[in-house]
Amino acid sequence: MKAIMLGIALPLALTGIAIGSAAFDSAKIIDLTHSFDKHTIYWPTEGSFHHEWEHFGPTPGGYFYSSAKYAAAEHGGTHMDAPLHFNRQGDSVDKVALGNCIGPAAVIDFSARAAKDPNATLSVADIEQYEKANGAIPDGAIVVARSGWGKFWPDKKRYLGTDKPGDVAGLRFPGFSSEGLKYLLEHRKVAAIAIDTASIDPGISKEFLAHRVWLGANKPAFENVANAERLPARGATIFCIPTKIGDGTGAPTRIFALLP
């Protein structure tokens, strides 16, 4: 789709997004969300996503009707970690402003290192290298750590490091370093972080420092991002839109990007 270059004045406000009345171009949208179904990956201590038909078929009125119900843990599949997850004073899902769930995507790739070491974490050096190539991470950005792990979904053994129920000791996958997150908090104005693994902490973590640092700063995080390999390093706008669960510590989240 060829971009239309406009030389006219446009009201942009500070959103970076101009609102128009034209039809929406689906070809510019990348869905970064795994479906919630029986294959959805949850923490080894949790059950799977439950979807149960209430009705599926013809009705006495002669028309087709179907409906179902669902049940799951908050923290599984493509989802938000609300600050409340590790921060008693932090916002629950319903309290996180949508403005902090939408922003320019700064996609920092560390997949080459992660391919050699499943305990790899996104470091300060990774951030510095990204900015050298792409310019400073913009204010309001959502930083996406790309480990390359998305390609293992929904194979639990490869994605989590273990497919045994309850086996938290067997978890092995990349994450954020707490040093990298402290650097972002001190030196950049980032709205949220996201990653294509099951947790912002690496699987091997026992202290969950990434969670404690980032959610401790009352900022949301997003886990199990799908299709991250389709994101450009910069230039896309990413939307991480959670189900509005009251008092939620986490929630299923529809993540998608609009390409430039």
Cβ nearer to its own copies, comparing 88 with 132: 88
Peptide bond into 154 cis (omega under 30): yes
Q: How many CA atoms lie within 13 A of 78 on its CB side?
A: 25
| DSSP at 91 | P
Cβ nearer to its own copies, comparing 111 with 222: 222
> Is 186 a binder of its own copies (CB under 8 A)?
no
Only one of the segments 10-18, 117-125, 149-157, 174-182 lies at the binding site for its own copies (rule: CB under 8 A); that segment is 10-18
Residue with tokens 């954020």, as numbered in its chain = 176
H or E segment and range at residue 130: helix 124-134
Which residues within the stretch 192-251 sit at the binding site for its own copies (CB under 8 A)?
206-208, 212, 234-237, 239, 241-250
CA distance 253 to 185: 23
Which one-letter amino acid corresponds to residue 90? G
* Interface pick for its own copies out of 48, 94, 113, 188 (rule CB under 8 A): 94
Cβ nearer to its own copies, comparing 128 with 135: 135
Give the distance, in angstroms, between the CA of residue 56 and the centroid of all CA atoms in the same chain. 33
Only one of the segments 35-43, 115-123, 124-132, 179-187 lies at the binding site for its own copies (rule: CB under 8 A); that segment is 35-43
> Is 258 a binder of its own copies (CB under 8 A)?
yes
Residue 193, beta-bridge partner list: 143, 221
Residue with tokens 């886990």, as numbered in its chain = 223
> Is 19 a binder of its own copies (CB under 8 A)?
yes
> Is 22 a binder of its own copies (CB under 8 A)?
yes
> Is 73 a binder of its own copies (CB under 8 A)?
yes
> Is 104 a binder of its own copies (CB under 8 A)?
yes
> Is 7 a binder of its own copies (CB under 8 A)?
yes
> Is 166 a binder of its own copies (CB under 8 A)?
no
Tell me how many residues contact its own copies (CB under 8 A).
Answer: 98
Q: How far lies 86's CA from each of 33, 210, 250, in Å?
A: 24, 10, 11
State the minimum distance, in angstroms, from the CB of residue 112 to its own copies: 26
Only one of the segments 3-11, 162-170, 179-187, 194-202 lies at the binding site for its own copies (rule: CB under 8 A); that segment is 3-11
State the minimum distance, in angstroms, from the CB of residue 7 to its own copies: 6
Length of the chain measured in residues: 260
> Is 112 a binder of its own copies (CB under 8 A)?
no
H or E segment and range at residue 222: strand 221-223
H or E segment and range at residue 211: helix 209-216
Which residues within the stretch 53-72 sit at the binding site for its own copies (CB under 8 A)?
54, 61, 63-72
Q: How many CA atoms lie within 13 A of 172 on its CB side?
A: 13
Cβ nearer to its own copies, comparing 104 with 180: 104
CA distance 97 to 1: 32
